[in-house]
Amino acid sequence: MRFINTLIMGGILSLSLCSAPTLAWEKGRVYKFTVLHTNDHHGRFWQNEQGEYGLAAQKTLVDTIRYDVQAHGGAVLILSGGDINTGVPESDLQDAEPDFRGMNLVGYDAMAIGNHEFDNPLSVLRQQQKWAKFPLLSANIYQKSSGQRLFQPYALFNRMGLKIAVIGLTTDDTAKIGNPEYLTDIEFRPPADEAKSVVEALRATEKPDVIIAATHMGHYDDGKHGSNAPGDVEMARALPMGYLDLIVGGHSQDAVCMAQDNQKQVDYVPGSPCRPDRQNGTWIVQAHEWGKYVGRADFTFRDGVLTLENYQLIPVNLKHKVKNSEGKEEWINYQPEIAPNSAMLKLLMPFQKKGEAQLNVQVGSVDERLEGDRHKVRFVQTNLARLMLMAQIERTKADFAVMSGGGVRDSIAAGPISYKDVLKVQPFGNTLCHVEMKGSEVEKYLAVVANKQVDSGAYAQFANVSLVADGAGVSEIKINGEPLQADKVYRMATLSFNASGGDGYPAIDKLPGFVNTGFVDAEVLKQYIEQHSPLKAADYMPRGEIVYLSAQQKQERQQQQEKRRRSYPQMILAWLTGEE
């Protein structure tokens, strides 16, 4: 794992700090410190079915590293890139209390506030701050009504005599992808602007030796962020060189291991060498998701120069399938097994048992897999999304239903379906809504949502709708197989998240025909499964709900229509003269 020393010989790891003239460090002394980091935890306080990740094994690993670093004259700083909430029912039903209490025992020093920290009302986040024995940081989240920051913008740490500042930053996309019901008085300002002002204030007052940003903004190769808000790469490039020494990121849920400049490795193999990104003098790291890895960055600091001596992503009991000598598949660890910490198990076991008691109740069954993988549901129509939408249609007696693909959070395997499976699919607790609109209004609505970018969480899933989208508008719209009628009134079902403008969908919650039923989405799906089981996955297969036209196809179609329009008089003349 010391491969990065070859890079040191190339002279690319040293960074002269643009710190204030007053020096807190001793000339000639070598300071050692290690940054450990995770991100996008999403409720994974407990190990999965294969014994992967979980805070008990993470605690053992972190303690081992801490003792090693201390034995070599250094100290450890443990940071999180945020998104502790949402993803596992046992955690969701308990407002992530086991996760924050477990992070305390691991010894986290600070975390960035992620967009999923706003999946619940602000009161829940305030309770989580009380559970956490470490600061939840964000410099760019403000209260609209007062103009004041809602959270602590930074924290200061002393490691072996070095003053280290950690600034928290949250993606400003939260205003778009967060639940609008909980964001009415909250403003997310551009992170790079806030980072610049905080760094300059810190230099003038606290004079830190090292400045780190713990962010939840995403890592996008070469700064190509598409429809997402700018991320870590863009911020590092926008700030003057030397403003940030290190960015500990999250949100895009990547293993940031670079194959070459501005290009991450594809299909990173756990335990293999990992070279972090470097932009404008700033190192950028991210440890994939769920606590699958603990990132380790070993630094030395001497005479104002910070050097990254070693970096690695350490897998936490990650496994892969292999065939044994008998031809049977079994799960094998990529690296030696990490034993769970007994104190952590004692802390978390009551939470796990409490959750299991509520969740491991069978509610139905399905004969084949229902697809909800993020790499499918954000690109194409899937059978699971259609099942969810049909449940919403049945409950509301709607003509059709629409939701963003990002609202589908997991797949359902063939076989028995438990309440836990349902909550994995819909963990956010959105409520079911419906609205009545004329066909002309429906067309305008669909023109927006059907042209949402493929590969984003906003990509629209449909039921009882078919249409053609060309990037700007829609045509050939059918509802329940019948052509859309401009003056006919239709009822559309959707979730409160999209109804109030989430994912950039048109807000419909103020329309006269809008109704919020108050039914929670997971409960609606659970009841539908109970009433219709055993389910047949084939009954929910996509049926050509949406056809996308490329620019060339759009042009060709327009040319054909123009050709037909121009030839119409000749056709009439031929018919009148008997030539047709």
Instruction: Respond yes or no: is residue 40 known to be catalytic.
Output: yes
Cα–Cα distance list, 337 to 110, 173, 328 (Å) = 27, 38, 21
Given 128, 179, 228, 253, which residue is catalytic?
Answer: 253
Say if residue 4's pLDDT is above 80.
Answer: no
Place of tokens 């508008």: 473
pLDDT tens digits for range 80-95: 999 999 888 899 989 9
Given 41, 216, 219, 296, which residue is catalytic?
Answer: 216
pLDDT class of 241 with cuts at 50, 70, 90: very high
Instruction: Respond yes or no: is residue 216 known to be catalytic.
Output: yes
Asked whether residue 447 falls in the same domain as residue 518, the answer is yes
- Would 254 be classed as within a structural domain? yes
Which CATH number does the domain housing residue 284 bear?
A: 3.60.21.10
Say if residue 489's pLDDT is above 50.
Answer: yes
Asked if 256 and 31 touch (Cβ cutoff 8 Å), the reply is no
- Any idea how long the chain is? 580
- Would 567 be classed as within a structural domain? no
Asked whether residue 338 falls in the same domain as residue 404, the answer is no
The predicted pLDDT at position 572 comes to: 58
- Would 448 be classed as within a structural domain? yes
Short-list 153, 217, 148, 130, CA closest to 185: 148
Query: Which three-class secondary structure string do you get for 279-334?
Result: ECCEEEECECCCCCEEEEEEEEEECCEEEEEEEEEEECCCEEEEECCCCCEEEEEC
Instruction: Respond yes or no: is residue 378 known to be catalytic.
Output: yes
Given 251, 288, 296, 386, which residue is catalytic?
Answer: 251
CA pair distance 62, 296, nearest whole angstrom: 10
The predicted pLDDT at position 389 comes to: 97
CA pair distance 203, 184, nearest whole angstrom: 34
Asked whether residue 50 falls in the same domain as residue 136, the answer is yes
pLDDT class of 329 with cuts at 50, 70, 90: confident
β pairing state of 136-137 and 110-112: parallel
Say if residue 35's pLDDT is above 80.
Answer: yes
- Would 536 be classed as within a structural domain? yes
Given 189, 237, 374, 491, which residue is catalytic?
Answer: 374
- Element housing 213 (H / E): strand 210-216
Measured between its terminal Cα atoms, the distance across the chain in Å is 79
- What residues form DSSP beta bridges with 354? none
Count of domains observed in the chain:
2
The predicted pLDDT at position 23 comes to: 55
Instruction: Respond yes or no: is residue 115 known to be catalytic.
Output: yes
Instruction: Respond yes or no: is residue 277 known to be catalytic.
Output: no
Structure tokens at 208: 């830190």
Q: Which amino acid is at 462?
A: F
Say if residue 568's pLDDT is above 60.
Answer: no
The predicted pLDDT at position 226 comes to: 83
The predicted pLDDT at position 401 comes to: 97
- Would 556 be classed as within a structural domain? no
Asked whether residue 333 falls in the same domain as residue 385, the answer is no
pLDDT class of 566 with cuts at 50, 70, 90: low
Residues 6+ away with beta carbon under 8 Å from 569? none
Asked if 449 and 460 touch (Cβ cutoff 8 Å), the reply is yes
Asked whether residue 497 falls in the same domain as residue 394, the answer is yes
Say if residue 178's pLDDT is above 60.
Answer: yes
CA pair distance 551, 12, nearest whole angstrom: 44
pLDDT tens digits for range 493-538: 999 999 999 999 999 988 988 988 888 899 899 999 999 999 999 9
Say if residue 8's pLDDT is above 50.
Answer: no
Least confident residue range of 194-198, 314-318, 389-393, 464-468: 464-468
Say if residue 151's pLDDT is above 70.
Answer: yes
- Would 569 be classed as within a structural domain? no
**469, HSE (Cβ side, Cα atoms, 13 Å):** 24
pLDDT tens digits for range 103-119: 999 999 999 999 999 98
Identify which of 3-7, 339-343, 458-462 has the greatest average pLDDT.
339-343
Asked whether residue 385 falls in the same domain as residue 433, the answer is yes
Which CATH number does the domain housing residue 462 bear?
A: 3.90.780.10
Asked whether residue 297 falls in the same domain as residue 377, the answer is no
The CB density around residue 122, as the number of other CB atoms within 10 Å, is 15
Asked whether residue 53 falls in the same domain as residue 186, the answer is yes
The predicted pLDDT at position 14 comes to: 35
Short-list 289, 286, 281, CA closest to 265: 286
- The strands making up 74-80's β-sheet, listed across from edge to edge, are 14-16, 305-315, 293-302, 30-38, 74-80, 110-112, 136-137
Given 37, 41, 42, 225, which residue is catalytic?
Answer: 42
CA pair distance 359, 423, nearest whole angstrom: 9
Which of residues 352, 375, 394 is at a domain's end?
A: 352
Asked whether residue 133 falls in the same domain as residue 34, the answer is yes
Structure tokens at 508: 């419909």
- Would 570 be classed as within a structural domain? no
The predicted pLDDT at position 313 comes to: 98
pLDDT class of 456 with cuts at 50, 70, 90: confident
Over residues 548-552, the mean pLDDT reads 63
Given 92, 99, 109, 119, which residue is catalytic?
Answer: 119
pLDDT class of 577 with cuts at 50, 70, 90: low
The predicted pLDDT at position 558 comes to: 56
- Burial of 49 from C-beta contacts in 10 A (0-12 / 13-18 / 19+): exposed
Given 44, 116, 219, 225, which residue is catalytic?
Answer: 116
Short-list 506, 486, 477, CA closest to 494: 506
**Structural domain of 440:** 361-549
Prediction pTM value: 0.79
Asked whether residue 55 falls in the same domain as residue 163, the answer is yes
The predicted pLDDT at position 520 comes to: 85
Say if residue 298's pLDDT is above 70.
Answer: yes
Instruction: Respond yes or no: is residue 119 known to be catalytic.
Output: yes
Sign of CA dihedral 547, 550, 556, 558: positive
Percent of the chain with pLDDT over 90: 77
Q: Is 437 helix (H, G, I), strand (E, B) or coil?
A: strand
- Would 565 be classed as within a structural domain? no
**What phi and psi, each to the nearest 5 degrees, are found at residue 490?**
-120, 150
Mean pLDDT of the chain: 90
Q: Is the pLDDT higher at 472 or at 70?
A: 70
Short-list 148, 147, 137, CA closest to 114: 137
Which of residues 352, 370, 397 is at a domain's end?
A: 352
Say if residue 483's pLDDT is above 60.
Answer: yes
pLDDT class of 471 with cuts at 50, 70, 90: confident
Given 41, 225, 378, 386, which residue is catalytic?
Answer: 378
Over residues 269-273, the mean pLDDT reads 97
β pairing state of 329-333 and 460-463: unpaired
Instruction: Respond yes or no: is residue 83 known to be catalytic.
Output: yes
Instruction: Respond yes or no: is residue 253 known to be catalytic.
Output: yes
Chain-centre distance of CA 32, in angstroms?
Answer: 33
Short-list 217, 303, 220, 304, CA closest to 263: 220
Instruction: Respond yes or no: is residue 159 known to be catalytic.
Output: no
- Element housing 165 (H / E): strand 162-170
Short-list 297, 274, 270, CA closest to 36: 297
Given 115, 279, 392, 498, which residue is catalytic?
Answer: 115
Place of tokens 């999180």: 80
Q: Is the pLDDT higher at 482 or at 325?
A: 482
Least confident residue range of 143-147, 193-197, 361-365, 550-554: 550-554
**516, HSE (Cβ side, Cα atoms, 13 Å):** 15
Say if residue 481's pLDDT is above 80.
Answer: yes
Please state whether 550 falls in left (phi above 0), alpha (psi between -120 and 50) or beta.
beta
Cis bond upstream, residue 534 (ω within 30): yes
Percent of the chain with pLDDT over 70: 91
Say if residue 580's pLDDT is above 90.
Answer: no
Q: Which amino acid is at 453?
A: Q
Which of residues 322, 352, 382 is at a domain's end?
A: 352
pLDDT class of 6 with cuts at 50, 70, 90: very low
β pairing state of 400-404 and 329-333: unpaired
Over residues 417-444, the mean pLDDT reads 93
Asked whether residue 415 falls in the same domain as residue 338, the answer is no
Asked if 99 and 41 touch (Cβ cutoff 8 Å), the reply is yes
Given 225, 409, 430, 503, which residue is catalytic?
Answer: 409
Asked whether residue 366 falls in the same domain as residue 344, the answer is no
Instruction: Respond yes or no: is residue 116 known to be catalytic.
Output: yes
The predicted pLDDT at position 435 comes to: 94
